[in-house]
Structure 1
Amino acid sequence: MIIGLTGGIASGKSTVVEIIKDARYKVIDADQLVHDMQVKGGRLYQALLDWLGYGILLPNGELNRPKLGQLIFSSEEMRYQSAEIQGKIIREELAAKRDCLAKEDDVFFMDIPLLFENDYQDWFDQIWLVAVSPQVQCQRLMKRNHLSAEEAGMRIASQMPLAEKLPYASLVIDNNGNIDDLKKKVKGAIKDLANLV
């Protein structure tokens, strides 16, 4: 059984992943995969360099991630181009990791922030969605990434609204409460999952 885990930016999905890992389930992390491929010499590094040029690099040759984020989130056209350029490579790499792990484990998770936006739904037996209110999401994102309300709003707006994701979720994990509430909900879901398999 492969379970897709998703949630909007600053929804608390990373905390959910840690709880899942503590329960001894493996999690393929799409963000980490992207990060790894964006290091100097990686597939995405080269694709981004070919697209945006050397202006996105730090003096040491690594990607200037804050600048890259500002560029990509500056307009819908830039987000679209980024998705086109990086999307195919990311999908190929995620599929390879999924297929490899499926040979070893009966149950595992794939943490894909843009699961719905990039049409990964068909990959999964279940989809767990971490949900927060727009106000909580904006506050968390501003604090975590040191963004203005406008910058946070632009990043949130670049993702599919929560209401459009809800019908596709097998499980919705409400994360408007505190960490203890979240742990209780996720541990309960994991217990239910263990009873299924």
Structure 2
Amino acid sequence: MSKVGVNVTVIGLTGGIASGKSTVAKYLADNGFIIVDADIASRKAVEAGSSGLEEIRTVFGDGVIQEDGTLNRKALGEIIFKDKNQREKLNAIVHPRVRDIMEAEKEAGLALDKPVVMDIPLLFENRLEHTVDEVWVVYVPKEVQIERLMARNQLSLEEAVSRVSSQLSIEEKKQKADKVIDNSGSLQSLYHQLELLIQPYV
């Protein structure tokens, strides 16, 4: 496998909810990095006509499929939200497919001899650090996360705190990072950090 830049081929990009990870991923994509997005892979794994969606129909019934043949996420959510066993059944269907999709996209990126970024929101929570060469964490303090999440999703303070608390704390992620991207300032400040950070890789 060829190595890119400073002997890093695969970068794991993560952060907390509302930390600005999508903004960082877009900047990296605009500067020649291949982005492999876990959220997009999750949608592909259960898109209309996929084997993943058919298996979900078999396990959970026709009620979780909409008339247009796509997944009824609300109906499925109601089944799995309060039932750990049902949630595990869903994960057993979806997770292996997501891994396969991401692995294929990663290999395609490496074949182009470009740095590959695995954009994985729950990288630490799912213990995936070993699958990447280096971890970059997009960091903002918890109080900034909560403020931005309330503004972005029109959430109450209680709802925002609950969502932020459902993930590993941003301080813990910061401690585990190889590189920390501080996004608590202006967009200009963020881009300046990124410009310096990516120089060895492009």
Question: Taking structure 1 as the reference length, what is the TM-score of the superposition?
Answer: 0.80
> Per-residue displacement from partner, 1:33-91 (whole Å, max 9, x unpaired)?
1122232122443344444444444443323445656765x458379625444222212
Alpha-carbon shift at residue 15 of structure 1 (Å): 0.3
* Bigger mean CA deviation after superposition, 83-92 or 13-22: 83-92
Question: What 5-or-longer segments of structure 1 have no aligned partner?
Answer: none
Structure 2 partner of 1:145:
153
Is the 8 Å Cα contact of residues 109 and 115 (structure 2) preserved in structure 1?
no
Is the 8 Å Cα contact of residues 17 and 145 (structure 2) preserved in structure 1?
yes
Name the SS of the counterpart of 2:143 in structure 1: helix
Is the 8 Å Cα contact of residues 45 and 97 (structure 2) preserved in structure 1?
no
**Which residue type is aligned with residue 118 of structure 1?**
N
Report sequence identity in percent: 36
> Per-residue displacement from partner, 1:106-155 (whole Å, max 9, x unpaired)?
42211111111222211222111111222222233333334444443343
Alpha-carbon shift at residue 188 of structure 1 (Å): 1.5
After the TM superposition, which residues 1-197 of structure 1 pair with which residues of structure 2 at under 5 Å, given as runs? 1-65=9-73, 74-75=81-82, 77=84, 81=88, 82-194=90-202
Question: Taking structure 2 as the reference length, what is the TM-score of the superposition?
Answer: 0.79
Alpha-carbon shift at residue 6 of structure 1 (Å): 0.9
Name the SS of the counterpart of 1:11 in structure 2: coil
Is the 8 Å Cα contact of residues 34 and 44 (structure 1) preserved in structure 2?
no
Distance 2:10 2:133 in 1: 6
Distance 1:45 1:9 in 2: 27
**Which residue type is aligned with residue 153 of structure 1?**
V
Distance 2:197 2:112 in 1: 22
Distance 1:113 1:172 in 2: 15
* Bigger mean CA deviation after superposition, 40-49 or 22-31: 40-49
**Which residue type is aligned with residue 133 of structure 2?**
D
Distance 1:85 1:150 in 2: 32
Question: What 5-or-longer segments of structure 2 have no aligned partner?
Answer: 1-8
Distance 2:201 2:109 in 1: 18
Distance 2:76 2:39 in 1: 15
Distance 2:52 2:148 in 1: 28
Structure 1 partner of 2:3:
none
Let me know the Cα RMSD of the aligned residues: 2.8
* Bigger mean CA deviation after superposition, 54-63 or 160-169: 54-63
Is the 8 Å Cα contact of residues 47 and 86 (structure 1) preserved in structure 2?
no
